[in-house]
Amino acid sequence: MWVYERNGSHFQSVYVMIPQTCERFEISLNTSAGCITTAVDVPTGFVPVTSILPLMRRLGEEAQALEVTRLAEEGSVPSCRKGCAACCRMLVPLSAPEAFAVYNWVRSHPAEQQARIIARFGETKVRLLSQGIWQRLSGLCDASDAPSDDALDEINRRYYGLRLACPFLEEEVCTIYDERPAACRELLVTSPADRCEDVIANPVDTIPTPLRMSTVLGLLWQDLTRTSTWLIPLPLALDWAENHVGMSERVWKGAQLFDRALEKVWRFLSQSFSGNRGASGS
């Protein structure tokens, strides 16, 4: 068993070897919403990057739960409910590991269901091509630098204006809910649900996200592969994953992979804390 610390206060990790199967990491993370203390079991063998998605999602959701609890104590609670799918018309960014996971999820289902989902992705592509948006989204996948906030906002507004339902949405219910991307998990609002019918005309009150896991996973992928890919818009996820299937088959030692992911978590939290100090003038 050993302990290490990053930058003093942001996180520490202790792991205990569990013979033959996995290593147990006991993690303590200081986020803007509070401290997370949890344990995760990481495979000891060589695994693809998608294998750590459940672990990373769990960390992100526990951080989000702290923020939800904090706001509830102030009288603000999420208004999101099952069947409320207005946000499923927004453009969802995925990290490369998440794109591979979505691709694998689709391919793991019966042929009839695969065909139905792929057909909806195809319809979305045709619509986006006709509006000149597909080309813009494709450019995001290969951009060597992150686009400006203004550029992203303009693309998001154009996409949202089409009111395209997510290809995984059926009868206003998410069919990939357990495997949904981090960006979907992190979007929670406390404003009245009817405002979400048009978030441009009616700005909503969102719950802050202490740990953006899609950003963390994007940074991890760049580090592992030495590529510039940092986000893939969801409508392009299947095409992108199929074109990069060879990269999805790469494997890393489980504990090393998770340790590198924690490095990115630390980097994200360090920048968040620095930004908070700068905003407060301290």
- How do the domains of the chain map onto residue ranges? 2-280
Give me the mean pLDDT over the 6-28 stretch: 59
Of these ranges, 9-23, 25-39, 104-118, the one predicted with the greatest mean pLDDT is 104-118
Reported confidence tier of residue 276, pLDDT bands at 50, 70, 90 = low
Determine contact, residues 11/27, Cβ cutoff 8 Å. yes
Average pLDDT over residues 3-12: 42
Average pLDDT over residues 238-249: 95
Across 131-148, average pLDDT: 85
Specify the pLDDT at position 63.
93
Residues 6+ apart with CB under 8 A from 70: 33, 34
Q: Mind listing the pLDDT tens digit for each residue in 245-263?
A: 999 999 999 999 999 999 9
**pLDDT score of 92 more than 90:** yes
Position 89 confidence tier, pLDDT thresholds 50, 70, 90: very high
On average, the pLDDT of the chain sits at 86
CA–CA distance, 22 with 184 (Å, rounded to integer): 29
> Phi and psi (nearest 5°) for 197?
-65, -25
What's the distance, CA 43 to chain centroid? 22
Confidence of residue 6 (pLDDT cuts 50, 70, 90): very low
- Taking a C-beta distance cutoff of 8 angstroms, is the pair 189, 78 a contact? yes
pLDDT tens digits, one per residue of 207-224: 999 999 999 999 999 999
Residue 177 pLDDT exceeds 60: yes
By CB atoms closer than 10 A (0-12, 13-18, 19+), residue 236 is: buried
Determine if the pTM surpasses 0.95.
no
Does 199 score more than 80 pLDDT? yes
3-state secondary structure 134-197: HHHHHHHHHCCCCCCHHHHHHHHHHHHHCCCCCCCEECCEECCHHHCCHHHHHCCECCCHHHHH
Residue 117 has pLDDT above 80, yes or no: yes
Residue 192 pLDDT > 90, yes or no? no
